[in-house]
Amino acid sequence: MMKYTKLAMLLIIIAINVQLNAQTQVITVWKTIIPGKIDNSDYDEKEVFKDGELQRTSQVVFPTLTIYKPSQVNGTAILICPGGGYGHLSMNKEGKKIAEWLNTLGITAIVLKYRLPSDLIMKDKSIGSLQDAQEAMKIIRRNAAEWKIDANKIGVMGFSAGGHLAATLSTRFDLATYTPIDSISSRPDFSILLYPVISMTDEITHKVSRINLLGNTFTKETIHKFSNEYWVSRETPPTFIVHASDDVSVSAENSINYYVALKKNAIPAEMHIYENGGHGFGLGSGDQKKSWLSECTNWLKQRGLL
């Protein structure tokens, strides 16, 4: 009898794994030539695995979208931009795990593996990541009906430097960085920013992210162009922000300044600044770190997204 019980359990586990795999789909962002691409046969993606699971990646050449579909779809979708200082992507902690949490809320989660700024593969490295994010939003809207998504309930979520990308997409979604194939909008309907890099200004920027994005030499105009607090407008989507006061990597002033800009433009916004938490806490493990999950869930409910 024990033998058959073990067999039944094995079959259940296999069935669950098959179902989980069936709920995940990977597609390329660019079906044709990647805009501004420089061919470089010596430049290859570098992935880091642990226990058979992708943890982080760098030197991304071909950006992709990994679609995590919940068992009960509610029509809301979120594009996830992992962080990593524009030098690598935290694909597990700020990608897969976040997507799995969003799935429990009925949200379709799409993790963006975006190209990281590099003069070796990009004619203009300052806009490569944004090109991928803009096209990713278009792809989600193009497939909204097939993926059972409401085309007016597609948001963006970003962590650290991925938060800078998400904020740039939210404020500069209409910036002409490439020639699109259609007029579908790249504007997110809402934004969720976790310990985001917002500004490139000397006082509060994350210098590693700035160097990776803009290089070691830049002008005041370039600093202004990529400091998102200056580009908030009445078209910027409603935003939920989380940061920690003791974040020594990315100053909480990044989030505070962005919130003030949102408020000045009458954009609905909610911000939580925790006393402790540090940087890069992801889903978190402590009470304060985990509390952002319930706060974010409540915010999504209030906005009619759950």
Q: Give the pLDDT confidence of 283-296 residue by residue, as tens digits.
A: 976 655 678 999 99
Task: Establish if 36 belongs to a structural domain.
Answer: yes
Scanning the chain, the segments in alpha helix (DSSP H) are 2-22, 97-104, 128-142, 161-171, 207-214, 220-225, 253-264, 287-302
**With b meaning 16 or more CB within 10 Å and e meaning fewer, what string describes 259-284?**
bebbeeeebebbbbebeebebbbbeb
C-alpha 103, offset from chain centre: 15
- What is the pTM for the complete model shown? 0.92
Round to whole Å and give the CA distance between 201 and 204. Answer: 6
CATH number at residue 215: 3.40.50.1820
Instruction: Report d(CA 258, CA 192) in Å as an integer.
Output: 12
Question: What is the domain extent for residue 215?
Answer: 27-302
Pairing of β 64-68 and β 108-113: antiparallel
Assess contact for 214 and 200: CB atoms under 8 A. yes
| Cβ contacts of 184 within 8 Å, gap of 6 or more | 138, 141, 142
Q: Does residue 2 fall inside a structural domain?
A: no
**Which pLDDT value is given to residue 23?**
81
In a domain, 282, yes or no: yes
3-state SS, 105-137, equals CCCEEEEEECCCCCCCCECCCCCHHHHHHHHHH
**Residue 56: helix, strand or coil by DSSP?**
strand
Q: Is residue 75 part of a domain?
A: yes
pLDDT of residue 289: 63
Any domain includes 102:
yes
- How many distinct structural domains can be found in the chain? 1
Residues with pLDDT less than 50, the chain = 1-22
Find out whether 258 and 232 touch, Cβ atoms under 8 Å.
yes
pLDDT in tens, 97-132: 999 999 999 999 999 999 999 999 999 999 999 999
Looking at residue 284, its pLDDT comes to: 76
Nearest-angstrom CA–CA distance, 115 and 136: 12
Residue 10 domain flag: no
pLDDT at 286: 63
CA distance 285 to 72: 27
Quick check: is 157 in a domain? yes
- Judge whether 16 lies within some domain: no
